[in-house]
Structure 1
Amino acid sequence: MTYTCACCDEVHDDLPDLSFDRPSYAADVPDDEFEARVKLNEDLCVVDDEFYFIRGVLKIPIHENEQDLGFGVWVSQKKENFETNLENYDTPDIGPFFGWLSNEFKFKGEPTLSLKTMAHFQGYGQRPLIELDESDHPLSVAQRNGISLDEAWKIVHEYLGR
């Protein structure tokens, strides 16, 4: 799909997903302490052997479009649920598990850190789908009701620094 963007008047191909490489809690650990305190790979993070996070995909439907706007986000997990995920990574037969959205960013001017979520495990090497608790937060409303393609591109440009 190509699209002429209302934000920059350029022609774009597919809408990119936006992602965070670590939970905000891990990003706050000083560089000189990071290696000793944080265990991090592309999908899992443990801070101070006490705080557990998994990476998932939060999707926002785009009106009249097959593609969603995807956010690669981190959510907190209880230690027991984190370990259940580790032991059953290739099966969708676990969860869903509660967690707190663990990335700080603004969505339509509102902070997102600590929104309530449910992680729905897909198994087979796929990251869990992250569903926000129903609320009046703009990100939750967008996930439930969808957004226009123009809104999606505006969000992408905002996060990619255009």
Structure 2
Amino acid sequence: MNYSAAAPYVWGPAFEGDADSMLSSDQCIIRGQHFFVKGLIEIPVLDSTEVFSWGVWVSLSRDNFARALERWETPGREDEPPYFGWLCTELPIYSPGTVDLRTRVHTRPVGKRPYVELEPTDHPLAVEQRTGITRERVREIAAAVRRLP
């Protein structure tokens, strides 16, 4: 019920030894100029209490990233207003592509990944987030992900 990207789509081996770059399970910085957090696009599964989720990376402005880090371990951080961001994970089962979809990143309690809310457009991923998916669609996604290189 969950698939997750290991890094933002722009991350590559060249950044691994760069002193101004880092990749953890929750945050990423590239060359001290590009800032990312990992969050979840949650999609309700119709006729179920389950939720399907995509673990994705979202770029934040320098200021919003700094604010998120400042509050990372602070109880009550879920009261932060959402941060604007661009989706930086390509989910190849969707067409058109998912990179650069507009998002709002909602901080949740300490220990929980942020909730990534897609701008309400007609993109298939945004539609699924708003309207939910069937169990059959979950099976289709699972089969498509297994076929990916």
TM-score normalised to structure 2 length: 0.90
Picking from 54, 58, 72, the partner of 1:71 is 54
Cross-structure match for 1:151: 137
Picking from 69, 72, 80, the partner of 1:86 is 69
Question: Residue 59 of structure 2 contacts residue 87 of structure 2 at CA under 8 Å; is this kept in 1?
Answer: yes
**Structure 2: where are the runs of 5+ without partners?**
none
Moved over 4 A (4+): none
Question: Residue 107 of structure 1 contacts residue 139 of structure 1 at CA under 8 Å; is this kept in 2?
Answer: no
Distance in 1 separating the partners of 2:15 and 2:100: 24
Distance in 2 separating the partners of 1:69 and 1:56: 13
Q: Which amino acid aligns with 1:34?
A: E
TM-score normalised to structure 1 length: 0.84
Determine what percentage of the aligned residue pairs are the same residue.
Answer: 31
Cross-structure match for 1:19: 4
Superposition RMSD in Å = 1.5
**Structure 1: where are the runs of 5+ without partners?**
1-15
Match of 1:49, SS state, is: coil
More displaced, 85-94 or 95-104?
85-94
Match of 1:64, SS state, is: coil
Distance in 1 separating the partners of 2:82 and 2:34: 19
Cross-structure match for 1:109: 95
TM-superposed CA distance for 1:131, in Å, is: 0.3
Picking from 10, 29, 32, the partner of 1:46 is 29
Question: Residue 29 of structure 2 contacts residue 35 of structure 2 at CA under 8 Å; is this kept in 1?
Answer: yes
Q: Which amino acid aligns with 1:65?
A: S
Distance in 2 separating the partners of 1:48 and 1:123: 29
Distance in 2 separating the partners of 1:95 and 1:156: 33
Cross-structure match for 1:35: 17
Q: Which amino acid aligns with 2:110?
A: Y
TM-superposed CA distance for 1:32, in Å, is: 4.4
